[in-house]
Amino acid sequence: MIKHSIKKVINNFGYEIIKNDSSISTELLNNYSYPEALYFRSKNFAFYCDIDICMNLLQFSFSPSGWHPFVAFLKKNNISILEEYFEKYSPRSLEELFFEGNTINKYPQIIDDRYLQIAPRNYVMPWFYKKQSPNERKLGLHIGPPQIDERDLALYKNKKEYYTKNKINIHGRHLKDIYESIRINGYNPVNDIKGYFLRDGDKFRFLVLEGEHRAAALSILGYKKVRVTFSQNIPRVIDYKDINYFSQVVRNEICHDTAKLIFKRYFTQDGKEKAQNIGISSKYL
């Protein structure tokens, strides 16, 4: 009965379950009309997800019709793609990370949002909660994220130096090794690709948190569906209709309009426009 019900949960929104656990909660079983059912905490399970809706946090898509630097590298087998990507895309703030530094022209209404000034290494997504440190509370930083500091400037000023050629080559070798292994032996994962869903009405995106190299290889090899599971200790579905209750919005760490634009870009972008905005050569798109 449990196996049948869990399969029904997944099949209701287009996915196929491939393993399950006998201790799945009754809440999950009783709420399977839409992906909210997967929000409930229960022991995890794996299922197949369309590659076309898989993206990373930086808004690059694993879809064959989109653009992701790892997919582009495997497609053309050219290390220069990774070199150019890491050189061109060196965000010093969330404004540069999410909007490629183009808010003044495209989104003037959010240009003064302090959330966008935070350094990439310190950020938390608008819908997640970040516990403040004692120093942040002491300094009164609860009113908004801190300004970018000198350490961040030093770290992100020259990404080409930070991502040395050696590290780029390691990325390239790792991608090619995974690609060749799957091409020859098929995909038999020891660890599943992990992430969570974003939902906007009847549209979904699966944000990949772990396994980007594998997802890129599977995309190039023509896999239409990839085996995924949920990351632990975070919500499984983030729904746009709940934007007023996003943690960073409630705490006034980010304005409503900024949270809306960041969320919507996962549904309006496929990585190609972002790649163009950061200056990736047309021959690599």
Give the tokens for residue 114. Answer: 């302090």
Question: Rounded to whole angstroms, how far apart are CA atoms 63 and 240?
Answer: 22
Lowest mean pLDDT among 46-55, 72-81, 146-155, 222-231: 146-155
Q: State the pLDDT confidence band at 22, using cuts at 50, 70 and 90.
A: very low
Average pLDDT value for the chain: 78
Highest mean pLDDT (candidates 1-15, 150-164, 177-191): 177-191
| Residue 86 amino acid letter | F
Helix, strand, coil percent content, the chain, rounded in steps of 5: 50, 10, 40
Question: Rounded to whole angstroms, how far apart are CA atoms 34 and 204?
Answer: 11
In this predicted structure, what is the pLDDT of residue 31? Answer: 36
In this predicted structure, what is the pLDDT of residue 178? Answer: 95
In this predicted structure, what is the pLDDT of residue 86? Answer: 87
Other CB atoms within 10 A of residue 132 CB: 13
**pLDDT higher than 70, residue 26:** no
In this predicted structure, what is the pLDDT of residue 140? Answer: 34
Instruction: Please name the residues in contact with 139: beta carbons below 8 A apart, sequence gap of 6 or more.
Output: none
* 66 or 142, greater pLDDT: 66
Q: State the pLDDT confidence band at 180, using cuts at 50, 70 and 90.
A: very high
Strand partners, 109: none
Residue 233 is inside which H or E element, if any? none
Mean pLDDT for 122-149 is 52
In terms of DSSP H, where are the helices of the chain? 2-11, 26-30, 69-76, 79-88, 94-99, 103-106, 134-138, 150-156, 159-162, 165-185, 212-220, 247-250, 256-268, 272-277
In this predicted structure, what is the pLDDT of residue 60? Answer: 97
In this predicted structure, what is the pLDDT of residue 68? Answer: 97
* 7 or 241, greater pLDDT: 241
